[in-house]
Amino acid sequence: MLSTDKAWEKFGRENPYYGVLAEERFTAPQIGDNRDVFFESGRAFLAGLLRRYEGHFGALPRGSALDHGCGVGRLTLPLGTAFERVTGLDVSPSMLAEAKANAERLFVANVDFKLADDRLSNAAGQFDFVNSYITLQHIPVRRGLSILARLVERVRPGGGLHVHVSIRTDGLPSRALWWASHHIPGVKIWQNICAGRPWNAPAMQMNDYPMGEVIVALASGGVSEFLVATEQHAKFLTVSVIGKRRQI
């Protein structure tokens, strides 16, 4: 499947909040009235995530955190209130520009936003907590598994990890339509027109990951004990995995 980077930059320029959370209230025409709701959803999600982690694994060091696929900062900015230093990575320069503006507007000064690449070269060193939520599913599987392995490497021994992937698209018609829209020229244009979107609206590519390979990537990097929860995102069954990297 094709690289998704150009599509996410188009979302970043034209519809950044909808690109992060695909709900009508977060589209460009409506985000002005719903921006606070958007960020409150991120704060609530992160608070629950950290409670789950510490309820199972114990206290999490709060020195540094990495947010992979940070978008406009929905989870990165709350991470900035929970950790001393935070790095947010995204492949879209426009998303990063919006995230920086949001950090200034919300007076979050300890977050550094940087451009992502597959080697995570702008996130040197290791972090106490590494997060990648509703991101890997938009990246083709072979490429995403390579990124996942590098995310695990960025977790400091004794630190925590949260990653999220899609594992199943429900219904044969849905699976067929997604395959066609990503592989057959013209299908995505037809799909956009039928949905009332601009004909050239970017595709929000979805990819289902083999759970066995995800577990192997985590275990190979020293994350061998997990909390696993499923989430239904529209027609997609997804999995959140929380883990702790073992001490050396």
Q: Quick one: pLDDT at residue 191? A: 66
Query: CB-based burial of residue 113 (10 Å sphere; 0-12 exposed, 13-18 middle, 19+ buried)?
Result: buried
When pLDDT is averaged across residues 209-216 and rounded to a whole number, the result is: 96
| Average pLDDT estimate for 140-149 | 96
Q: What's residue 175's pLDDT? A: 63
Q: Over 80: is that where the pLDDT of 95 sits?
A: yes
Q: How confident is the model at residue 188 (pLDDT cuts 50, 70, 90)?
A: low
Averaged over 38-43, what is the pLDDT?
98
- What's the rounded mean pLDDT across residues 86-94? 98
Average pLDDT score over residue span 114-126: 97
Asked if residue 198 has pLDDT above 50, the reply is yes
- Mean pLDDT score, 73-101: 98
The chain-wide mean pLDDT, for the chain, equals: 92
Average pLDDT over residues 131-137: 97
Q: What dihedral angle (degrees, nearest 10) is formed by the CA atoms of 155, 225, 118, 113?
A: -50
Region 150-162: what's the mean pLDDT? 98
- pLDDT confidence bin for 1, thresholds 50/70/90: very low
